[in-house]
A and B are shown apart, each in its own frame.
Chain A
Amino acid sequence: MADRAALLLAARGLTRTYPGVRALDGVDLTLRTGEIHALLGENGAGKSTLINLLTGAQPMEAGSIQLDGRDVRPRSPADATASGIVAVYQEITLLPNLSVAENIYLGREPTRFGLVDRARMRRDGATLLSRFGLSIDPAQPLSAFSTAVQQLIAIARAVDMSARVLILDEPTASLDSAEVAVLFRVMRELAGSGMAVLFVTHFLDQVYAVTDRITVLRGGKLVGERRTADLPRLDLVAMMLGKLPSGDGHLQRHAAREPGAPFINVKGLGKRHLVAPFSAEIRQGDVLGVAGLLGSGRTETALLLFGAERADSGQIVVDGEPVTLKGPRDAIRLGFGFCPEDRKLDGIVPDLSIRENIVLALQARQGWMKRLPLARQRELADTFIKLLNIRTPDAEKPIQLLSGGNQQKALLARWLATNPRLLILDEPTRGIDVGAHAEIILLLEKLRDEGMALYVISSEVEEVAAYADRVMVMRERRQAGMLTGGDVTPAAIIDAIVTPVEMPPSGRAA
């Protein structure tokens, strides 16, 4: 039915480049009247950039947007709102210090004799909210309400500003299932009233529960647009992760090796609201791959293992001794290292030089009083610049001037300089160019062969399948399976990602 519906929004060839990265490369998006359309992709796929172009938060370099057959070129979010495109984000961009009514009518308050007509705002607000199933007093401060209610209020504001196209960017990430059900009812009603809803989420169940069509992005490019009903889950995940399970991989799986000496045993480690208890064994010279979609809890396992979040259940046993991690410093003392996913925020110190960034963790472990002599620092920096092929004229350049791939290599160098026994890597190959990508994979294999234990979180299933000895699959913030030996194949990983947790995961994966 949605097929025959009128074309509402047609975006063609949207392109946007950031320094060094083409974030969006000639992407098309078509929304029809009355449809709920899913926009899917991993981190860095270009979803946020696409939304930013549609809402005018960023200018587009190339491409066109047609709404109702008219060309629009939003220059700001306010501009986009005026033409009928509004976005509501997971991060609620309302003002908690204002009342609900003030939030709904901010910038377009009804006035009486030049003064804000609060009585009318309150009345109109209550009427509006009742359409969304909310019977609350709009004079209450926004912060008095739960995230779910705030989300609905944000949608109410957006829709009330005469929206034709409503973009919902991960609105369900912090909602419970009952709240999600309410949100879905609202979405269907809005679509039924002739709007189009663009729904960004990483919960596949929700995609199948509510959407009519799916657009998948990967690496800034359009992978394809499909009708939800015609696209099996397995194919969808394959589209998102870039591997069709039917085809054979180019990467050769390494030969089975002798298992290394016992090293780390994670027993039921977990933290409420973060990730359910998970267990894993990591041996020396062992690569434990961690697979799962965005938001599956894969990063959270690393945060617990590195002490960046304190676990409230379970324990970590290292060399047969149970240890407690009060913070990253404890983990570093045990010989752990962690390359986080968000290089800019959690990784590099942008002002410092490449040398200072490389020696940072080693220096922190030594303590501030025992400064590494400058000659030793230079030697370390130069060694790693050569070893990892970091492209820079010298080690004294501020690290922020390097490309993403070279920054990533410098962060790897930071941990390699500490000579770690366990290296935790969160999406080590995300957002970097092809050459650096291959180099990093080779390096990981070399480190493994030298006896280092690796804990690699990656959404590149094909790669994980190639170099991991075992793969832990995460789904909906819990451990959904542990694949070993011959079971470690791209198809099996995708299968485990898709399979609901309730099923015995090992049985399905085999």
Chain B
Amino acid sequence: MTGWFMAARSRLVLLALVLLANMLVAPGFLELRLVDGRLFGGIIDILNRGAPVMLLAIGMAPVIATRGIDLSVGAVMAIAGAVAAASVNAGHAWPVAVLAALGTGLACGLWNGVLVTIFRIQPIVATLILMVAGRGIAQMITQGRVLTFTDDGLAGVSSATLLGLPLPVLIALAAAIITGLLVRATALGPFVEAVGTSPRAARLAGVPAPGILIGVYVWSGLMAALAGLIAAADIRGADANNAGLWLELDAILAVVIGGTSLYGGRFSIGLSVLGAIILQGMRTCILRAGLPPELNLLLMALVIALVLVVQSPACQPAIARLTARLTRRGTA
């Protein structure tokens, strides 16, 4: 665990800066209030609003670790939301609707995984297909309207409270813990990291590469479906046009901030979630400061540009020298 905190150090500093900025623009930001058994406060707000991107980042991190990418998660969110809304409207109970949505996410992930693994289409191309067609499929289900529903059970996915926390926060937390356990308490983590960066070495060492590759896309689809459920429950309706729009980019960015290279290799679920929280914190800060929300896009561009420069091969030697010097000083 100490190793994790060492790796997380720079992101925690970044998070602290974002929180500090939030505090400066909204003095009561850190306060927590308990109203009707539910916690309210700036931090809860960030976690609640950030839950969908956190979920997407949890699914995206293993995909990127295999040197892949999943562009379709935003569209899968839209489909899953539409499926859930359509099934409660067809008279099914909300648990059925939830299961149907999750099943849809699994199916979408399987489609992507098969295209990448069996048909060996580049991930960016393979997932582009669903990114384009997925929104059409979602619109087909909602008939092009915002498909509203009144089922309180389904709406509860977003509005319910458990242990004083909003359900989306708990869902994201649970997903992070389950995924974290799945990759670190089993041997999946190193396998995922091996199949992407060293496919030949992994195969010769007996790692079951095809299964793992399909698996990460399936998992990404499942996480996207969860995020889609929250987004639909939030507005009590499925909006095929806007649900999850461009969130795949937020998810990719969260994972990159979490320290995973776009060329695959080491990944961390925890750090990716942290990346998503940092993004949401920035967004909230700009909003609270009364600045135009458009600044967000510019700020995000700036952050990616920074990460790209830092990750670029041209800068790597310099950074390696710097860290070496710092750690030497640290241990001395």
A residues with a Cβ closer than 8 A to B are 306, 308, 327-329, 332, 338, 340, 345-352, 356, 360-361, 363-372, 396, 414
- Once the chains bind, are A332 and B186 in contact (CB under 8 Å)? no
Task: Name 18 interchain pairs, CB-CB below 8 A, sorted by A.
Answer: A328-B204, A329-B206, A346-B204, A347-B201, A347-B204, A349-B190, A349-B197, A360-B190, A360-B194, A360-B202, A360-B207, A361-B205, A364-B187, A364-B207, A368-B188, A368-B191, A370-B187, A396-B3
A209 CA to B198 CA, complexed, in Å:
41
* B198 vs chain A, min Cβ distance (A): 5
A349-B197, A351-B266 are contacts. A363–B204 as well, Cβ < 8 Å? no
* B327 vs chain A, min Cβ distance (A): 12
- Once the chains bind, are A348 and B204 in contact (CB under 8 Å)? no
A368-B188, A369-B186 are contacts. A350–B198 as well, Cβ < 8 Å? yes
Kindly list chain B residues whose C-beta atoms are within 8 Å of the C-beta of A363.
187, 190-191
Give chain B interface residues in 173-207, CB to chain A under 8 Å: 185-188, 190-191, 193-194, 197-198, 200-207
Nearest B residue (CB) for A331: B206
Is B164 among interface residues, defined by CB-CB distance under 8 A? Answer: no
- Once the chains bind, are A332 and B206 in contact (CB under 8 Å)? yes
Kindly list chain B residues whose C-beta atoms are within 8 Å of the C-beta of A370.
187
A372 CA to B212 CA, complexed, in Å:
18
A396 CA to B206 CA, complexed, in Å:
22
Tell which of B3, B186, B193, B206 touches A349, judged by Cβ atoms closer than 8 Å. B193
Kindly list chain B residues whose C-beta atoms are within 8 Å of the C-beta of A327.
203
- Once the chains bind, are A368 and B187 in contact (CB under 8 Å)? yes
A363 CA to B205 CA, complexed, in Å:
9
* B73 vs chain A, min Cβ distance (A): 24
- Once the chains bind, are A348 and B198 in contact (CB under 8 Å)? yes
**Chain A proximity mask over B202-229: 1 for CB below 8 Å, otherwise 0:** 1111111000100000000000000000
A372 CA to B187 CA, complexed, in Å:
8
* A299 vs chain B, min Cβ distance (A): 12
* B254 vs chain A, min Cβ distance (A): 20
* A384 vs chain B, min Cβ distance (A): 15
Tell which of A308, A348, A366 touches B187, judged by Cβ atoms closer than 8 Å. A366
* A361 vs chain B, min Cβ distance (A): 5
**Chain A proximity mask over B246-274: 1 for CB below 8 Å, otherwise 0:** 00000000000000000001100000000
A367 CA to B212 CA, complexed, in Å:
12
Tell which of B185, B206, B212 touches A371, judged by Cβ atoms closer than 8 Å. B185
* B56 vs chain A, min Cβ distance (A): 23
B residues with a Cβ closer than 8 A to A are 3, 185-188, 190-191, 193-194, 197-198, 200-208, 212, 265-266
A349-B198, A360-B194 are contacts. A340–B187 as well, Cβ < 8 Å? no
A309 CA to B202 CA, complexed, in Å:
15
- Once the chains bind, are A360 and B197 in contact (CB under 8 Å)? no
Nearest A residue (CB) for B203: A328
Kindly list chain B residues whose C-beta atoms are within 8 Å of the C-beta of A332.
206
Nearest B residue (CB) for A333: B206
Kindly list chain B residues whose C-beta atoms are within 8 Å of the C-beta of A352.
190, 193-194
Kindly list chain B residues whose C-beta atoms are within 8 Å of the C-beta of A329.
206, 208
* A357 vs chain B, min Cβ distance (A): 9
Nearest A residue (CB) for B195: A349
A13 CA to B185 CA, complexed, in Å:
55
Kindly list chain A residues whose C-beta atoms are within 8 Å of the C-beta of B190.
349, 352, 356, 360, 363
Q: Which of B188, B198, B206, B266 has the most CB of A within 10 A?
A: B206
A306-B204, A347-B201, A351-B197 are contacts. A364–B191 as well, Cβ < 8 Å? yes
- Once the chains bind, are B188 and A349 in contact (CB under 8 Å)? no
A351-B266, A368-B186, A372-B187 are contacts. A328–B198 as well, Cβ < 8 Å? no
A377 CA to B163 CA, complexed, in Å:
38
Nearest B residue (CB) for A329: B206
Nearest B residue (CB) for A330: B206
- Once the chains bind, are B187 and A365 in contact (CB under 8 Å)? no
- Once the chains bind, are B206 and A328 in contact (CB under 8 Å)? yes
- Once the chains bind, are B208 and A349 in contact (CB under 8 Å)? no
- Once the chains bind, are A371 and B197 in contact (CB under 8 Å)? no
Nearest B residue (CB) for A415: B205
A366-B187, A371-B186 are contacts. A349–B194 as well, Cβ < 8 Å? yes
Tell which of A340, A346, A361, A372 touches B206, judged by Cβ atoms closer than 8 Å. A361
- Once the chains bind, are B203 and A349 in contact (CB under 8 Å)? no
Kindly list chain A residues whose C-beta atoms are within 8 Å of the C-beta of B197.
349-351
* B315 vs chain A, min Cβ distance (A): 18
- Once the chains bind, are A364 and B206 in contact (CB under 8 Å)? yes
Q: Which of B185, B191, B201, B203 has the most CB of A within 10 A?
A: B201
Q: Which of B185, B190, B193, B202 has the most CB of A within 10 A?
A: B190
* B304 vs chain A, min Cβ distance (A): 22
Kindly list chain B residues whose C-beta atoms are within 8 Å of the C-beta of A340.
204
A175 CA to B204 CA, complexed, in Å:
29
Nearest B residue (CB) for A336: B206
A370 CA to B191 CA, complexed, in Å:
13
* A374 vs chain B, min Cβ distance (A): 10
Kindly list chain A residues whose C-beta atoms are within 8 Å of the C-beta of B203.
308, 327-328
Nearest B residue (CB) for A364: B206
Kindly list chain B residues whose C-beta atoms are within 8 Å of the C-beta of A396.
3
- Once the chains bind, are A364 and B186 in contact (CB under 8 Å)? no
Tell which of B205, B206, B265 touches A351, judged by Cβ atoms closer than 8 Å. B265
Q: A328-B206, A349-B198, A368-B187 are in contact. List 4 more A-B contacts (CB 8 A).
A: A306-B204, A340-B204, A346-B204, A360-B190
* A305 vs chain B, min Cβ distance (A): 13
A165 CA to B191 CA, complexed, in Å:
48
- Once the chains bind, are B201 and A348 in contact (CB under 8 Å)? yes
Nearest B residue (CB) for A366: B187
Nearest A residue (CB) for B267: A351
* B311 vs chain A, min Cβ distance (A): 14
A346 CA to B194 CA, complexed, in Å:
11
A328-B203, A347-B201 are contacts. A371–B208 as well, Cβ < 8 Å? no
Kindly list chain B residues whose C-beta atoms are within 8 Å of the C-beta of A371.
185-187
A360 CA to B188 CA, complexed, in Å:
11
- Once the chains bind, are A346 and B187 in contact (CB under 8 Å)? no
Nearest B residue (CB) for A418: B206
* A373 vs chain B, min Cβ distance (A): 10
Kindly list chain A residues whose C-beta atoms are within 8 Å of the C-beta of B200.
345-346
Kindly list chain A residues whose C-beta atoms are within 8 Å of the C-beta of B207.
360, 364
A327 CA to B204 CA, complexed, in Å:
9
6 closest cross-chain pairs (CB), A and B: A364-B206, A351-B265, A332-B206, A349-B194, A371-B187, A361-B205
Kindly list chain B residues whose C-beta atoms are within 8 Å of the C-beta of A348.
198, 201
* A358 vs chain B, min Cβ distance (A): 11
Nearest B residue (CB) for A365: B206
A306 CA to B206 CA, complexed, in Å:
11
- Once the chains bind, are A360 and B205 in contact (CB under 8 Å)? yes
Kindly list chain A residues whose C-beta atoms are within 8 Å of the C-beta of B265.
350-351
* B195 vs chain A, min Cβ distance (A): 9
A368 CA to B206 CA, complexed, in Å:
11
* A308 vs chain B, min Cβ distance (A): 6
Kindly list chain B residues whose C-beta atoms are within 8 Å of the C-beta of A414.
205
A328 CA to B265 CA, complexed, in Å:
22
A74 CA to B46 CA, complexed, in Å:
58
Nearest B residue (CB) for A342: B200
Q: Which of B187, B200, B203, B266 has the most CB of A within 10 A?
A: B187
A345 CA to B208 CA, complexed, in Å:
18
A340 CA to B198 CA, complexed, in Å:
13
Kindly list chain A residues whose C-beta atoms are within 8 Å of the C-beta of B188.
368
Kindly list chain A residues whose C-beta atoms are within 8 Å of the C-beta of B191.
363-364, 368
